[in-house]
């Protein structure tokens, strides 16, 4: 902890002394967060991660505007390093971040339906995790032709401009895009406390939808906007309910499937299109992992054959494999089918809002209406200024000689403009324009040609004034522009549509080999699964010091294993979850394998396949509960069940019986009781307390219970009593020999 500073006027101040340094200042956590964290959070939300209504984040906009100012919309390509360097005048976040942004907007990267950057060189691929792009000094780029629609009329005051970070130049706050870019190209961003994930749609469909909504705000979106459209293609699994929710709320998810072809001659499946949320490497690794786990026995080999022709994953099939069934299985088990989660979070007027498709297009329309209105007002102002000048020129048409005489007879240059104003009754602007006319243009023909524009300008001004004052006319202009964009840049859909109701979902049944096994369970909770052949060849069982085998059972590899714990819980595993082992190993520690709670121990193993028979739980208070095995069967394959048995008294023993028989119980007093399990009625409730079987005196408890076998007792009738009973102490005939074994 820093020491508190001593306040003393006599202490000399060392060189570089900072007032208050080392002083401990107490601050409220809330105040510190508001002061330090909130500005950062707001900056990330507003200036970095969330796209605006023009469809761009600030980093995208700064890069594209820099390229526009460099003349890369009409000229040839230039080195990417040059572009990155120029962009740093607007975006001071380092060259690597800027180049990464340009890569993702490029045609070569193939991440966008309609790329904004026309690239040359290695720009990597969005569908490959390991295919890195070349350094900026090796690649070249320019703006794609589509960017004409982004920067159209940007110099006509269509959008606001602000100073850059060092106030040396200006940049646009938005781009006046003439089509809804926010829905045409995908956009993903993670801010602080919120995120954005916008899926792409087909450009022509988006334009038609925007037109339909301008003509009828209640138009059905599905008539013109079928579904999202990804640059990587694939099949979109169309569920009408899910898609309606996305269109209405801007949130939801839908499934995207890969596209494939089957080459019968080669016996392989070629996957050529994959979901946008995965990569070639992730798919190949998952398939290899499943093959190693013996869960994909139909696959002989898998290769990544992606080359200059595009994406390609080849899967070689084993002889006799049905490719359709295999692909259904792969769709279930691998990212060949994946979900795309939508979150249409967009900044509108500086406020993040999650909007549905209809609201998003309405907001874009409002933005575009304002852009066109400002453009029209700019043109109107320019034409009025030109008309004003031509009217002044028209005034001197009446007497050109007078104008020449005024200029010639004026002694001082500064008086020329005032004298022309007085001589012809024109204002200063008009007089300046007349005074700047060249001598060669002071002829009647030139002046008549110029003044003939007055009538056409008056007509154009009237049209523009009508356009500025009419929102419906502005929308007509926007509709015409959208139709032109759709016609010029529209492309066929890349993602095909599969209707969810028509898809047959394959039920994947794990082909697990079934064979006889021997199961061993110890008092300390260790478990072994050993095949009969291995057991015959094995020597002594290896156990932890002080441990002993409490259960040795015969079962099969596909048997369900129910491990009951001392915390009234049961954990369900399968025999196939365990590797075949040998007697010379310690085995699997069940509390760790089953992920039991801390301090929880496994006390009993019950193997079953058909969930037949019943379980007998014996408690120290002398009660016994009979629970049918079917009570532990679940359809959801849950691995953990609570309240597996009663917790009212400590558990003394558990027995799993396929049918009723005789059971011998023993108390701490040495008394024994032999009874038939048919005397106890089964219960449907797992945590039932059961019925009193053995009466135990104070300070005594029921200790053990075993299935009675012939010969265990010399006089079994002596220990059979009417339940509940105290039982009987063993006679001399039982204790003298070795007949009594439990």
Residue whose tokens read 């015959």: 536
Q: In which region does residue 514 sit, left (phi positive, over 0), alpha (psi from -120 to 50) or beta (all else)?
A: beta
| Distance separating alpha carbons of residues 701 and 727, to the nearest angstrom | 12
Closest of 572, 576, 563 to residue 511, by C-alpha: 576
Residue whose tokens read 């009508």: 466
| Distance separating alpha carbons of residues 86 and 136, to the nearest angstrom | 13
- Bridge partners, residue 273, by sequence: 259
| Distance separating alpha carbons of residues 166 and 170, to the nearest angstrom | 10
DSSP codes joined into one string, 668-701? TTS-EEEEEGGGSPPBS-TT---EE-B---TT--
In sequence order, the 6+-apart residues with CB closer than 8 A to the CB of 76 are 142
The strand pair at 496-499 and 235-238 is best described as: parallel
Residue whose tokens read 């990417």: 80
| Distance separating alpha carbons of residues 737 and 742, to the nearest angstrom | 14
Residue whose tokens read 């009570």: 631
Q: Enter the DSSP assignment of 6.
A: P
DSSP codes joined into one string, 14-83? PTT--TTTT------HHHHIIIIIHHHHHHHIIIIIS-BTTS--HHHHHHHHHHHHTTTTTS--EEHHHH
Instruction: Out of 40, 138, 499, 515, pick the active-site residue.
Output: 138
Tokens of 354: 């999650």
Residue whose tokens read 């798919």: 283
| Distance separating alpha carbons of residues 362 and 368, to the nearest angstrom | 10
Tokens of 214: 């301008």
Return the CA Rg of the chain.
42
Is 65 a catalytic site residue? no
Terminal CA-to-CA distance of the chain, rounded, Å?
Answer: 67
Ordered strands of the 702-707 beta sheet: 672-676, 662-667, 702-707
Q: How many CB atoms lie within 10 A of CB 22?
A: 9
- What stretches of 80-186 adopt beta strand conformation (E)? 117-120, 140-143, 161-163, 170-172
| Distance separating alpha carbons of residues 582 and 590, to the nearest angstrom | 17
Closest of 714, 712, 708, 604 to residue 661, by C-alpha: 708
Tokens of 741: 């074994």
Q: Interhelix angle for 428-435 vs 416-424, to 10°?
A: 110
| Distance separating alpha carbons of residues 154 and 260, to the nearest angstrom | 44
DSSP reduced 3-state for 532: helix
Q: Enter the DSSP assignment of 311.
A: -
| Distance separating alpha carbons of residues 123 and 112, to the nearest angstrom | 13
415 close to 402: Cβ distance less than 8 angstroms? no
Tokens of 702: 């029921």
- What stretches of 97-204 adopt beta strand conformation (E)? 117-120, 140-143, 161-163, 170-172, 187-190, 195-198
602 close to 523: Cβ distance less than 8 angstroms? no
DSSP reduced 3-state for 295: coil
Tokens of 563: 């491990």
Q: How many CB atoms lie within 10 A of CB 585?
A: 14
Which residues are known catalytic residues? 138
């Amino acid at each position: 902890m820093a020491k508190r500073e001593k306040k003393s006027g006599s202490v000399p101040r060392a060189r570089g002394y900072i007032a208050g340094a080392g002083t401990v200042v107490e601050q409220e956590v809330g105040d510190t967060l508001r002061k330090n964290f909130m500005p950062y959070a707001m900056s990330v939300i507003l200036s970095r991660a969330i796209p605006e209504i023009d469809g761009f984040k600030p980093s995208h906009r700064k890069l594209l505007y820099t390229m526009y100012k460099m003349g890369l919309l009409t000229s040839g390509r230039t080195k990417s390093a040059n572009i990155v360097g120029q962009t740093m005048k607007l975006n001071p976040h380092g060259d690597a971040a800027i180049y990464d942004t340009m890569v993702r907007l490029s045609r070569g990267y193939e991440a966008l339906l309609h790329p904004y950057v026309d690239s040359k060189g290695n720009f990597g691929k969005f569908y490959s995790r390991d295919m890195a792009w070349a350094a900026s000094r090796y690649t070249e780029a320019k703006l794609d032709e589509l960017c004409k629609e982004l920067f159209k009329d940007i110099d006509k005051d269509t959008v606001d401009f602000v100073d850059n970070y060092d106030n040396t130049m200006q940049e646009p706050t938005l781009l006046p895009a003439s089509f809804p870019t926010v829905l045409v190209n995908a956009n993903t961003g993670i801010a602080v406390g919120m995120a954005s994930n916008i899926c792409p749609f087909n450009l022509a469909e988006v334009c038609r939808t925007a037109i339909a909504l301008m003509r009828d705000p209640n138009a059905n979106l599905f008539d013109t906007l079928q579904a999202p459209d990804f640059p990587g293609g694939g099949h979109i699994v169309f569920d009408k309910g899910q898609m309606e929710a996305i269109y209405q709320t801007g949130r939801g998810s839908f499934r995207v499937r890969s596209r494939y072809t089957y080459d019968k001659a080669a016996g392989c499946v070629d996957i050529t299109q994959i979901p946008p949320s995965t990569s070639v490497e992730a798919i190949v690794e998952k398939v290899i992992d499943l093959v190693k786990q013996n869960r994909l026995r139909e696959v002989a080999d898998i290769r990544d054959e992606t080359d200059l022709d595009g994406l390609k994953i080849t899967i070689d099939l084993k002889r006799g494999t049905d490719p359709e069934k295999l692909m259904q299985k792969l769709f279930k088990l691998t990212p060949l089918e994946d979900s795309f989660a939508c979150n249409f979070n967009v900044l509108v007027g500086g406020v993040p809002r999650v909007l549905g498709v209809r609201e998003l297009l309405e907001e874009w329309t409002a933005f575009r209406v304002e852009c066109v209105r400002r453009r029209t007002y700019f043109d109107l102002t320019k034409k009025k200024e030109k008309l004003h000048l031509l009217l002044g020129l028209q005034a001197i048409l009446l007497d050109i000689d007078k104008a020449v005489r005024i200029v010639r007879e004026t002694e001082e240059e500064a008086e020329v403009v005032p004298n022309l104003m007085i001589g012809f009754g024109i204002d200063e602007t008009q007089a300046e324009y007349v005074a700047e006319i060249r001598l060669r243009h002071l002829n009647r023909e030139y002046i008549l040609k110029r003044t003939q524009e007055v009538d056409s300008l008056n007509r154009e001004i009237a049209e523009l004034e009508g356009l500025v004052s009419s929102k419906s006319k502005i929308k007509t202009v926007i509709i015409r522009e959208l139709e032109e964009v759709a016609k010029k840049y529209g492309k066929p859909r890349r993602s095909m549509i599969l209707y969810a109701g028509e898809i047959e979902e394959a039920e994947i049944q794990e082909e697990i080999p079934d064979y006889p096994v021997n199961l061993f369970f110890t008092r300390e909770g260790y478990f072994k699964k050993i095949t009969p052949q291995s057991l015959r060849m094995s020597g002594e069982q290896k156990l932890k010091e002080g441990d002993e085998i409490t259960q040795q059972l015969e079962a099969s590899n596909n048997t369900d294993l129910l491990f009951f714990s001392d915390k009234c819980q049961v954990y369900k595993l399968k025999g196939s979850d365990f590797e075949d082992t040998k007697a010379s190993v310690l085995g699997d520690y069940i509390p760790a394998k089953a992920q039991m709670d801390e301090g929880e121990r496994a006390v009993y193993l019950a193997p079953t396949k058909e969930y037949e028979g019943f379980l007998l739980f014996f408690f120290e208070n002398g009660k016994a509960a009979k629970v049918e095995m079917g009570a532990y069967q679940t359809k959801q394959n849950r691995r953990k069940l609570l309240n597996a048995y009663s917790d009212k008294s400590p558990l003394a023993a558990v027995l799993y019986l396929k049918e009723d028989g005789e059971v011998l119980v023993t108390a701490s007093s040495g008394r024994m009781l032999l009874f038939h399990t048919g005397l106890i009625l089964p219960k449907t409730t797992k945590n039932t307390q059961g019925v009193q079987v053995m009466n135990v005196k104070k300070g005594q408890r029921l200790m053990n219970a075993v299935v009675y076998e012939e010969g265990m007792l010399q006089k079994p009738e002596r220990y059979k009593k009417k339940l509940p009973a105290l039982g009987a102490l063993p006679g001399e005939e039982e204790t003298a020999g070795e007949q009594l074994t439990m």
